[in-house]
Amino acid sequence: MSAEQVAVVTGGASGLGEHIVRRLHADGYRVAVADVADASALTAELGSARAYRVDVRERAALEQLLADVVADFGGVHVLVNNAARTQAKPLLEITPEELDAVMAVNFTGTFTACQVFGRHFADQGYGRIVNMASLAGQNGGTATGGHYASSKGAIMSATKVFARELAPRGVTVNAVSPGPQDSPMVRSIIGEDALDAYAASIPVGRLGDPAFIARMVALLASPEAASVTGACWDANGGLYLR
């Protein structure tokens, strides 16, 4: 991979996004970390990364992010749509405001970023977009809210739409669909006391490794992944088979 390649990771300040940022940086990318939270400590540690305060719900903010990254790095080649809002709540208790809030970040933010960066990638004749989906979007969700599951299902459909549109112009668009990971977010949703029993309910008997998910993302983001587009790569421990 060329040392000149630049990757943007939304929601990259912490959690799975941080794992993805670290993986891409280790692979030689210069990384732009876009988040509503402050990512300056992470980017200072990595050295060749830069932090951008971005709310993916706002198209103007994503357009400005693209302009800033191109100005700061000289170009951009990879977009990882990882920014997400998670809320576990009984289905019939989800309010319209909560539905709108989750969809605005997870689906609308991803769709808009695909438009904004996809147009730029198409114009330059090369690009890689990786969207973070979820097992919840495939099996309807078991531990997460129905609005979260619905947003992730929509992301998988959007991945196919953008993949078909952009493929002739050198741009691939794929999704990665993790099952439950060994992460602070999953631990807070499941609860530490129930974690062992929950892991035992997974066919492989364990939670997933976020660092491995990051490696999957990096593989799809690489120039060598030119023949893979419109795909959804699963890593769910056997909870969903197709």
Q: Of residues 126, 148, 198, 240, which has the active-site annotation?
A: 148
The DSSP call for residue 229 is -
Confirm if 131 and 143 have CB atoms less than 8 A apart. Answer: no
> Which residues are registered as beta bridge partners of 6?
30
List the chain pLDDT tens, one digit each, 242 residues.
Answer: 445 899 999 999 999 999 999 999 999 999 999 999 999 999 999 999 999 999 999 999 999 999 999 999 999 999 999 999 998 899 999 999 999 999 999 999 999 999 999 999 999 999 999 999 999 999 998 778 999 999 999 999 999 999 999 999 999 999 999 999 998 877 887 888 888 998 999 999 999 999 999 999 999 999 999 999 999 999 999 999 98
198 part of the active site: no
Strands 30-35 and 78-81: unpaired
CA proximity to 118, closest of 234, 8, 4, 3: 8
pLDDT at position 3 is: 55
Q: What stretches of 94-183 show up as alpha helix (H) in DSSP? A: 96-103, 109-124, 136-139, 146-166
Strands 171-178 and 127-132: parallel
Q: Which domains does the chain show, CATH number per domain? A: 6-232 (3.40.50.720)
pLDDT at position 1 is: 44
- pTM as predicted: 0.95
What is the residue-wise DSSP string for 164-224? HHHGGGTEEEEEEEE-SBSSHHHHHHH-GGGHHHHHHTSTTSS-B-HHHHHHHHHHHHSGG
Angle made by CA atoms 76, 80, 86, in degrees to the nearest 5: 145
